[in-house]
Structure 1
């Protein structure tokens, strides 16, 4: 039997009490299930502020309490429990009040929350911005690739330009420790320099001069130039340095950048050139003295200007031919065979027939080339006028070899087949040149004889006038 609120029995018609119980049961189940589902979704979503979390919890408790009130109403017709029902209703009322107060407190905050349309607009704007960023990124990547290629090409040109050259480049920090180096001289590697100072690499005296120049560049902000010699890996080296101060983007000097040019070979060539010029000056003076003596002797033995000019010009031409041989070999010397062939070049068609030239070729020093050239010229001129070259069938045999002790070189001139020879009654210029000028100039001996068959001449000079054997 159903009970009313006073504990008296209720006389409800038909199935009405059952309908009330079912309705309250469904409502109770719904109000208990909804909080459970909302709590599950809230936990899964996992994104909310502290205010949102508090409001959600209050609302869930409120709905849960209302569900309990309806559950109690299901039992009320059969079980009288006014205290429990009142407690549940009181709790639901408090939770409802707290929820309402919370809503009022959070209303300004909730009003500021973006609407769905606003969220969609913002999402659309963000997507547009994202696409623009992607496009910008692609453009930047393309520009980076282009600059990277340009940098690689510039680096390649830089390396090609320095490859095989005597130019080295390097940089140092403010403490003058090497930070980078490229195309270093033979004996040095980049890893040998990086992290070290000049004092760690070079001799103390050279390092102090280099460091002083670099410190001056950083102090004044002006480039410095320096040429310095020092020994590097057991070899004397010379370098020309250009030192530039290195600045950062703010203009603050943070180190140095330097270029070093290896001028060792250039200085060696300059030194060799100075020696050569001094030697050339010395030999030119000697040559002028010889020409002066030739002019005086030729003039003393010539009765006419025409005769003087002919003889003097011929002797100058002989000197000039010897000079040409020396110039061709940078004044180091000349081949004896070439010297003989040159002085007899007007009779080159007779080489190997009427004119025989024998001997292992040797290289003569410049002094010997000039004087032997004059001697050969005088012998040739005499043979053309009075000896074997003055008529067909005449022969000349020219040979040379070292003497037994190898300390002297002997050149022999033999004529035959020409007119019969008689010893001249007086000494001419050619004989004076051979016996006095050539012999004395080379500290050697000249023997000139006049057998009936033809002139015979022996010229013996010290082997010191020979630079090498052919």
Structure 2
């Protein structure tokens, strides 16, 4: 038998079809209500559990849904007169639940007008929408922070670059280091990045064939997103300086990098220490080139609320950075 857009076998019993439709509606989180043109209830299927039919009480919008919702539905339905008229209403059901009421006037096979109301549970949809809005706000906030960091890097790089080529070389390297750290943060669902992963990124980029000459010890601390971006930037500066101005590769002497968590009266802190062998006979120009890094001495420490010591003595380059450890919830 075919009726409009519905097909079913006539030999199937009404009970079987009724069970099928009710089960399907329950799986969809939907309920159907049929009323005649006078508003008398004809049929109700799979009513949401928060609303009940009271035994012995004639079903009505107010009796089922309460006075407040019943009045809203009555006002909504009063504007539906002709076949095809429709209207929608969203109701907050309490306890962070939401339901959508879709009302429509239809003409049945006997030409009588009836009101069909579909009640759909929209709770999960609203929760997903709130989560999406929160995520978009977070992305916007982090994007602004990232743009501020890029602006700061560009400004500092320009200030201490003698030529355009020098600026472009330094800025591109720093921007790439920032993007690598951001990839780690994104992969961790914005929790942050581990110290050793940040170091490995820079070692793989600049001294991949001599990775054994960069030795790491201590704890593999999980850093917050902000700390990850700036520590990644500091490690980039240290590795580039070592390759550009150092001689550890020629002398085959390892660079030692450590990361530790320390307890202090003011709370836990992270201490990063970079120790690099360095020829004491280096020219003053080379020393000046190495230690002209505002990123290491100012930008990174101030961005993580820490302090840094950068020195060249006793045949070693030492960079020590201490900053508060932010605790993850």
Q: Does 1:180 align with 2:41?
A: no
Of Structure 1 and Structure 2, the greater helix share is in 1
Can you list the C-alpha shifts for 1:209-266, whole angstroms capped at 9, x where unaligned?
A: 23432343368861112233331xxx21223332123555443334x32223333333
* TM-score, with structure 2 as normaliser: 0.76
Cα gap change, 1:298 to 1:253, in 2 (>3 Å): same
Over the aligned positions, Cα root-mean-square deviation in angstroms equals 3.8
Is 2:22–2:45's contact at 8 Å kept on the other side of the alignment? Answer: no
Q: State the alpha-carbon separation in 1 of the partners of residues 183 and 220 from structure 2.
A: 22
Q: Which has the larger radius of gyration?
A: 1
Query: 1:386 Cα deviation (Å)?
Result: 3.4
* Distance in 1 between residues matched to 2:116 and 2:18, nearest whole Å: 17
When normalised by structure 1's length, the TM-score is: 0.56
Alignment of 1:163-178 (within 5 A): 164-165=27-28, 167-173=29-35, 174-175=38-39
CA-to-partner distance for each residue in 1:80-118, whole Å, 9 max, x for gaps? xxxxxxxxxxxxxxxxxxxxxxxxxxxxxxxxxxxxxxx
1:315 offset after TM fit, Å?
0.5
Give the equivalent residue in structure 2 for 1:217.
Answer: 80
Q: Greater relative contact order (Cα 8 A, min sep 6): structure 1 or 2?
A: 2
Following superposition of structure 1 onto structure 2, how do residues 24-173 of structure 1 map, counting pairs within 5 Å?
Answer: 146-149=9-12, 158=21, 162=25, 164-165=27-28, 167-173=29-35
Alpha-carbon distance in structure 2 between the residues aligned to 1:429 and 1:441: 18
Separation in 1 of the partners of 2:303 and 2:83? 62
Question: 1:15-30 to 2 correspondence within 5 Å?
Answer: none
- Which of 232, 236, 257 is the equivalent residue of 1:397? 257
Q: Flag the 1:321–1:196 CA change in 2: closer, same or farther, 3 A.
A: farther
Between the aligned partners of 2:184 and 2:66, the Cα distance in structure 1 is 45
Structure 1 range deviating more: 420-429 or 273-282: 420-429
**Contact 2:306–2:322 (CA under 8 A) maintained in structure 1:** yes
Change (3 A) 1:394 1:360: closer
Classify the secondary structure of the residue corresponding to 2:316. Answer: coil
Contact 1:241 1:258 in 2 (8 A): yes
User: Is the contact between residue 400 and residue 411 of structure 1 (CA under 8 Å) also seen in structure 2?
Assistant: yes
In the alignment, is the contact (CA less than 8 A) between 1:421 and 1:452 conserved in 2? no
2:311 corresponds in structure 1 to 449
User: Given that residues 227 and 239 in structure 1 are in contact (C-alpha distance below 8 angstroms), is that contact kept between their aligned partners in structure 2?
Assistant: yes
- In 1, distance between residues paired with 2:247 and 2:41? 81
Residues 228, 238 of structure 1: 8 Å contact kept: yes
- Aligned to 2:232, which of 373, 380, 403? 373
Give the match for residue 4 of structure 2.
none
Instruction: Return closer, same or farther for 1:179/1:447 CA change in 2, 3 Å cut-off.
Output: farther
Indicate conservation of the 8 Å contact 1:326/1:334, yes or no: yes
Q: What is the alpha-carbon distance in structure 1 between the residues aligned to residue 54 and residue 235 of structure 2?
A: 62
Q: Is the 8 A contact 2:52 2:64 kept in 1?
A: no
Deviation of residue 419 (structure 1)? 3.8
Could you list the per-position Cα deviations for residues 367-403 of structure 1 after superposition, in whole angstroms to 9, with x for gaps in the alignment? 2222222122222222323347544231322213142
CA deviations 1:121-168 (Å, max 9, x no partner) are: xxxxxxxxxxxxxxxxxxxxxxxx941438688667756755644x30
8 A Cα contact 2:260 2:270, kept in partner: yes
Cα distance in 1, alignment partners of residues 214 and 9 from structure 2: 80
User: Aligned pair count?
Assistant: 314
Is the 2:203–2:214 Cα contact (8 Å) retained in structure 1?
A: no
SS at match of 2:30: strand
Partner of 1:226: 89
CA pair 196-440 structure 1, distance change in 2 beyond 3 A? farther
SS at match of 2:328: strand
Q: Are 1:208 and 2:71 matched, yes or no? A: yes
Q: 1:158 to 1:340 in 2, by over 3 A?
A: farther
Structure 1 stretches of 5 or more lacking a match? 1-144
**Counterpart secondary structure, 1:443:** coil
